[in-house]
Amino acid sequence: MDNLIALLIAAPLLGAAVLLCGGRALDRVGPLVGTVLSGASFVIGAVLFADMLGKGAGDRTMTQHLFAWVPVAGFKADVGFQLDQLSMTFVLLISGVGTLIHIYSIGYMAHDERRRRFFGYLNLFVAAMLLLVLASNYLLLYMGWEGVGLASYLLIGFWQHKPSAATAAKKAFLVNRVGDMGLSIAIMLMFTTFGTFSFGGVFGAAHGATEGKLTAISLMLLLAACGKSAQVPLQSWLGDAMEGPTPVSALIHAATMVTAGVYLITRSADLFNGAPTAQLAVVVVGGVTLLFGAIVGCAKDDIKKSLAGSTMSQIGYMILAAGLGPIGYVFAIMHLVTHGFFKAGLFLGAGSVMHGMNDEVDMRKYGGLRKYMPVTFVTFGLGYLAIIGFPGLSGFFSKDKIVEAAFAKGGTEGWILGAVTLLGAAITAYYMTRMMLMTFFGEERWRNTATASPDAPDVEPAAEERGRHAEPHPHESPSVMTIPMIVLAIGSVGAGAFFGVGDRFLRWLEPVTGHSEGNSPVSAGVVTAATLVLLVVGAGIAYLQYGRRPVPARAPRGSLLTRAARRDLLQDDFNHVVLVRGGEHLTRSLVYVDHTVVDGVVNGTAASFGGLSGRLRKLQNGYARSYALSMFGGTAVIVAATLLMRAV
């Protein structure tokens, strides 16, 4: 059974290889091949899962060793896999949601002439993400880590002829590289501290390391997590990443890849547990991002960018929970899974709306769509109820647990964190209700307004293929698209209750991550009540602003905060001024320095040694023989000198 683990990765990897190297002949069957191979991975995952359930909680970890990867003296990196309950959870999420999104893409990308390549990239992503969660050492994890970064780069920039897409792709890769620097340094520190970077070796020895070392390693891992999971201060790439096709946003930039940071921290629990300072940094990052993302989500009129802000914010919840230590690990992962369902569903819903609206993304040009897209409306609506934490739905169970865990941290810290998570819940209810109202209710603001011309560079090129750019005619998407939405909606509704009731998820994951209750100053009932009150407040304010009053087709000027939030709270402006402009000046002046100073000084020094620069000018006349001569002159000197030495 253990030997099946490699097949999980091999199936989609094969798909990627075949689809990317195969020629035009595969254009027609490409989408099907990609979907089947992703599905195969899910089936293998399910078989392994069934096998795992049959074993006792203590010996569920399976391992597979393939070969020695980089063996150099004490440095041993193997290609080996480890499948335990934590990895298993991810395997099912990645291959499951991944396959659903493959199916959805068959419909969504039907008119794109490069769809074979699209499915190749998707398969590459699934393979790399599975490698990330199955690796049994940090260096192999790194390979998966950058592999998903590559897939993300390729998919964000899939419509490469759009300059904005190419720029967004590059930005995502670069920001992630800064995080990767952290992962590199963490691995180097592990090697010099423990002499190994395999999970078993590191975690087994972690208790013997000094707190300083553990803190350093953990902070570097946190930097890596910030990059991949779009947490402050490395969050700026996620909003731009929405340039990619919507299924990509759903799979990579909502459900799976961006949660890799949460995986990394949870996986490294043994390191973080010994480094309280690093854990404090983790909760601060999570808390700040939670509010940051939520505020940005409130201000955006672009439906995908608003959802991207929401993703940031929800991952902030997970990171915060992971930073709480054993009190929060399980709930971080639980929220990650439920979020995978409802956020993927919401994105697919957004894609379905765009599909029916000539790829318009501005919510101010939507309105009243519930009549025209009933399936999308219902599935999106269920996702909406799940994310705001409506009682009984997924988000209610998983988010509530994180709020409780935040209070259970204890002390002033616990109160602050608890308050932040509660505030976040209110803002979530606000921006999601706003989105729901602007899209599906109210006036039909798209009447008599042509959508942007397909020649405009910022339009998704699918519109070009369909050749419609007059007034949109909203319609429901084909069933190949709606079925995945329905499946995800079922997950959004039921997963939370399934996991939460009887602490099923807790008992499943506890053997890997450990768990402690903490000591909460407030009872669970009070927390739930407070969450519900804030939910009503948030949703209510949104209703007053966007439900009771008509939505202006052009955004009002807004307050200072709104205007800042529309610009991602000015982080890009900061980056532009400090990093981009500063960098340009630096490289330009260095080019100048290299050309004049370095070259000049070296030539000048040479000249002062023997009039070389004068010779340079003379030699340039092209007497090649003289170079040969001078060289053999050198040889003659050595011969003469050695003969002389012997004579002496």
Partner 1 sequence: MSFPYLTVTFALPAAGAIVTAAVPAARRTAAKWTALVFSLATLVMAAIVIVRFDPGGGQFQLAESHAWIKDFGVSYDLGVDGIGVALLALTALLIPFVILAGWHDADPLEEARPNRRWRPTQGFFALILAVEAMVVLSFEATDVFLFYLLFEAMLIPMYFLIGGFGDRAHSGGDEAAATQRSYAAVKFLLYNLVGGLIMLAAVIGVYVVAGTFSLTDIAHLRAAGDLSMSTSTGRWLFLGFFFAFAVKAPLWPVHTWLPSAMGESTAPVAVLLTAVVDKVGTFAMLRYCLQLFPEASKWATPVILVLALISIVYGALLAVGQRDIKRLIAYASISHFGFIIMGIFAMTSQGQSGATLYMVNHGISTAALMLVAGFLISRRGSRLISDYGGVQKVAPVLAGTFLIGGLATLSLPGLSPFVSEFLVLVGTFSRYPVIGIIATIGIVLAALYVLVLYQRTMTGPVKATVQGMSDLKVREVVVVAPLIALLIFLGVYPKPLTDIVNPAVHQTMSQVDRTDPHPQLEASR
Structural tokens at position 391: 């009682």
550 binds partner 1 (CB under 8 A): no
Answer yes or no whether residue 608 interacts with partner 1 by CB under 8 A.
Answer: no
Q: Is 624 near partner 1 (CB under 8 A)?
A: yes
- Residue holding tokens 């090129």? 461
| 8 Å CB contact between 161 and 137 | no
The stretch near partner 1 (CB under 8 A) out of 257-265, 327-335, 351-359, 639-647 is 639-647
Site mask, partner 1, residues 132-161, x = CB under 8 A?
Answer: -------x--xx-xxx--x--x---x--xx
State which of residues 196, 273, 352, 433 lies at the interface with partner 1 (CB under 8 A). 196
C-beta separation of 490 from 496 below 8 A: no
Q: Can residue 173 be called a binding residue for partner 1 (CB under 8 A)?
A: yes
Angstrom distances, CA of residue 401 to CA of 48, 186, 318, 333, 540: 29, 31, 11, 11, 24
Q: What's the closest the beta carbon of residue 572 comes to partner 1, in angstroms?
A: 17
Q: 312 and 289 in contact (C-beta within 8 Å)?
A: yes
Q: C-alpha distances in angstroms, 135 versus 42, 83, 165, 461?
A: 18, 8, 31, 37
Interface residue with partner 1, options 4, 18, 205, 555 (CB under 8 A): 205
Is residue 43 a contact residue for partner 1 (CB under 8 A)? no
DSSP string covering 126-152, please?
HHHHHHHHHBSBHHHHHHHHHHHHHHH
Residues 587-606, one symbol each (x = binds partner 1 by CB under 8 A, - = not), give: xx-xx--x---xx-xx---x
CB contact at 8 A, 162 and 457: yes
Strands 75-83 and 62-72, sheet pairing: antiparallel
Q: Which sign does the torsion angle of CA 300, 304, 306, 311 carry?
A: negative
Residue selected from 10, 29, 170, 562 as contacting partner 1 according to rule CB under 8 A: 170
167 binds partner 1 (CB under 8 A): yes
- Nearest alpha carbon to residue 506 among 332, 338, 322: 332
**Number of residues in contact with partner 1 under rule CB under 8 A:** 85
526 contacts partner 1 (rule: CB under 8 A): no
Asked if the peptide bond before residue 552 counts as cis, ω within 30 degrees of 0, the response is no
For the record, the structure tokens of 440 come out as 């599906």
Looking only at residues 333 through 362 of this chain, which bind partner 1 when binding is defined by CB under 8 A?
none
| Nearer residue to partner 1 within complex by CB, 456 or 536 | 456
Does residue number 630 form part of the binding site for partner 1 (CB under 8 A)? yes
Residue 625 in contact with partner 1, rule: CB under 8 A:
no
209 vs 393, which CB is nearer to partner 1? 209
How far is CA 369 from each of CA 376, 449, 494, rounded to the nearest angstrom?
A: 9, 15, 26
Binding mask 67-96 toward partner 1 (x if CB under 8 A, else -) reads xxxxxxxxx---x-----------------
Confirm or reject binding of residue 212 to partner 1 (CB under 8 A): no
Choose one: 173-181, 230-238, 241-249, 270-278; the region binding partner 1 (CB under 8 A): 173-181
Q: What are phi and psi of 427, to 5 degrees?
A: -65, -35
Q: Does residue 18 interact with partner 1 by CB under 8 A?
A: no
The yes or no reply on residue 178 touching partner 1 (CB under 8 A) is yes
By C-beta, is 519 or 605 nearer to partner 1?
A: 605
Tell the smallest beta-carbon distance from residue 9 to partner 1 (Å). 12
